[in-house]
Amino acid sequence: MKLKNLLREIIENPMITKLEQSLKSHDWYSEYSDDHRSWLRGSADWERIRQLIAQINDAGLEKEATAVWKKTVPTDFKTRYPKNLSK
């Protein structure tokens, strides 16, 4: 019973949920944009994602973040997981 509750807590962790939402809404191709404003928005959004991953890693949930990354990110970007981030 404890393991089930722990898994539910990890899955429902607000940081993990926020990461999944951020990854789904991120413009993954903004770095290729000719529009500088679009590039800046994408760059700022990417930095927020990196900071969120650092917080998640500091909370000891790196495996969960990696799983969300693999599930959510477009195929072209799956190998770009920012490793060893911490605050």
pLDDT tens for 51-67 read 999 999 998 888 889 99
Q: Rounded to whole angstroms, how far apart are CA atoms 50 and 72?
A: 15
- Position 28 in a domain: no
**Whole-prediction pTM value?**
0.81
Residue that wins the pLDDT comparison between 16 and 13: 16
Is there a domain that residue 3 lies in? no
Residue 19 in any domain: the answer is no
Is 44 inside any structural domain? yes
**Range of 61's domain?**
35-87
| Nearest alpha-carbon partner for 31 in 68, 75, 77 | 77
Encode pLDDT of 23-49 as tens digits.
Answer: 999 999 999 999 999 999 999 999 999
- pLDDT-derived band of residue 87, with 50, 70 and 90 as boundaries? low
Total domain count for the chain?
1
